[in-house]
A and B are shown apart, each in its own frame.
Chain A
Amino acid sequence: MNNDISYDAVMARKKDIMKQAVGIDYDEFETGGIAFDYERMMRETGYSLQEMQEIQRETGVGNTPILELKNLTKLARQLAPKGKGARIFIKDEASNPSGSFKARRAAISVYHAKKLGYKGVIAATSGNYGAGVASQAAMRGLKCIIVQECYDSRGIGQPEIIEKARKCEALGAEVAQLSVGPELFYTFLRMLEDTGYFNASLYTPFGIAGVETLGYEIAMQFREREGRDPDVVVATNAGGGNLTGTARGLIKAGALNTQIVGASVNLKGLHMASDKQFNRKSFTTGHTGFGIPFATWPDRSDVPRSAGRPLRYLDRYVTVNQGEVFYITEALAQIEGIERGPAGNTSLAAAFSIAQELDQDKIVLVQETEYTGAGKHIQPQLTFARENGIQIIIGNPEEEIPGENIILPEHPGLIKAKDIDLNKLRKSYIKNCIDITNVTSFTNEDVKFLAEDSKSNTEFVIDTLKELGIRV
């Protein structure tokens, strides 16, 4: 082990530590300054869909039920113009062993770590993924460390994050809780170096491909049940892995006409690395603070090339507000009899709005739910918000200001998903590629890659590059 543990020294060893801890030589897939062979990386470093289904079956992951939300559908129809109001369904991922779809990602990572002979796994996550990794590690007899960003400098933490720490500990993991800051990554690297464990990153091909079974199951279950694919699948979008994996699975099933919609909670104006603002947000995941930066720069993750590339698959991206998600969470419990955690209901709030735009014979599917309980429930979350000076108001959600208030819609008709301009995100992604890689001229391969990675076309990429003053 290297003795220099200063921030700069550890960060300088990042590449070597990662190579040791992931077992993937990312250089092999690099083809240019910007381009890399994404599909080859997914193919050669991962597992086939059938292999993943078997791996997940071994630990009871997947094959979760699809539930039709008849009362929410009825409600949407009462609010929608005549003839509108698509049927709303939910894929109940809370039925996975650790209580969320994240068990799918963890299943493949942990299996792979075990196969390669690692003694343990580490994941940096404040969210459900920690519980997924801890649960899978317990089943496969590996040790597990979860590193989470948990407290502000007053030592105060969101009940939701604290609950996730409890869950990880309950499943036999060591949990290291940190105060706010991106140097969580530094601590994570030190632990990887110190233990020699596997980096069960959310963004390796294993972490993303594990979700493909979710997309695949959706298509298969709908074909069996309704004789066709869903028209729209809404995925909560944070780091992009959920959306990427689901979309890839749907494509693998041949569900090519299903529209993929990403949904995030609007947290505009709150800085993710700010000690003061950390506890002024009431959503710890599924919000724009992750959703937008990861969509416009996926490789900002903890591996050299992220396998989660949401822009590749997004047909539409919408935001909802915190109050709308809390409202729909209460609605799910009260009129559908299903109590689930709020973070997973971000996409449900969006789906409830989108359903009202579509004809009644259409199908909208929300592709995840998460477990709820103490800390991870709207009541403790709103209690926490109130104790941190956030106003809770019943009114018009349009007036919500993240970090200042949470506005519960006074009527369900006020729940409206708002579109984010995808072309703006695409341009921002291309600009980030230039700024971060410092590439000054583009090859045809780069242009083709950027077109694929932003789900646009070469014309769009060339026009954007020209706007930015880049020679092609």
Chain B
Amino acid sequence: MDYAKKGDWVRIHSIVLTPDQRAAQVPEDTKRVPLEMWTKGFLIADEAKIGDTVTVETYIGRKASGNLIEINPYFEHDFGKCIPELLYIGRQLRGILEGGERIE
């Protein structure tokens, strides 16, 4: 679905400051890139497609503008992948607590 219609929950992106507008104290690598902002809201226009500049009404009713980048945005973070390096910890600790080891 590349088109959003009025009232759809969407994610927008905007440039807050271009590299030349950034604060003087910012480190070099940060100064080379713009300050960007992402926010979400309900589409106000009747229809818009990904990449269009749109205005949305945020969840609390504020207006915000930016480029439409996602329709019905969702979170993808999770519990990560298996980290085999962690697996010794519980076993090691139980071993020590069960009396296997005494360090003085």
Contacts and interface: CB of A to CB of B under 8 A. Distances in A.
Interface string A308-337: 000000000000000000110011011100
Given A176-B37, A408-B86, A383 B81 contact: yes
A177 interface: yes
A182 interface: yes
Contacts of A411: 92
Interface string B65-104: 0000000000101111111011011101110110001111
Interface in B21-79: 21-23, 25-27, 29-30, 32-41, 58-62, 64, 75, 77-79
Given A7-B21, A379-B79, A408-B86, A174 B39 contact: yes
A275 B75 CA distance: 23
Contacts of B104: 81-82
Interface residues of A, number: 69
A273 B35 CA distance: 12
B37 A173 contact: no
A15 interface: no
Contacts of B75: 162-163, 165-166
Interface in B1-32: 16-17, 21-23, 25-27, 29-30, 32
A9 to B, nearest CB: 11
Contacts of B59: 169, 172-174
A413 to B, nearest CB: 6
B90 A274 contact: no
Contacts of A75: 93, 96-97
A187 B77 contact: no
A120 interface: yes
B97 to A, nearest CB: 6
B34 to A, nearest CB: 8
Contacts of A169: 40, 59
Interface in A369-404: 374-375, 377-384, 386, 392-394
A179 interface: yes
Contact of A334 (B39, B41, B90): B90
Nearest to A153: B33
B86 A379 contact: yes
Contacts of A271: 27
Given A7-B23, A176-B64, 18 more contacts: A7-B21, A78-B97, A159-B78, A165-B75, A166-B77, A172-B59, A174-B40, A174-B62, A180-B30, A273-B25, A275-B32, A331-B90, A334-B90, A375-B77, A380-B79, A380-B80, A383-B81, A386-B83
10 contacts: A71-B93, A162-B77, A163-B75, A178-B36, A183-B22, A275-B32, A375-B77, A378-B86, A383-B80, A392-B83
Interface of A: 6-7, 71, 74-75, 78-79, 81-82, 120, 143-145, 150-151, 153, 155, 159, 162-163, 165-166, 169, 172-183, 186-187, 194-195, 271, 273-276, 326-327, 330-331, 333-335, 374-375, 377-384, 386, 392-394, 408, 411-413
Pairs of residues from A and B, 6 with the lowest C-beta to C-beta distance, nearest first: A383-B80, A380-B80, A334-B90, A153-B33, A375-B77, A379-B80
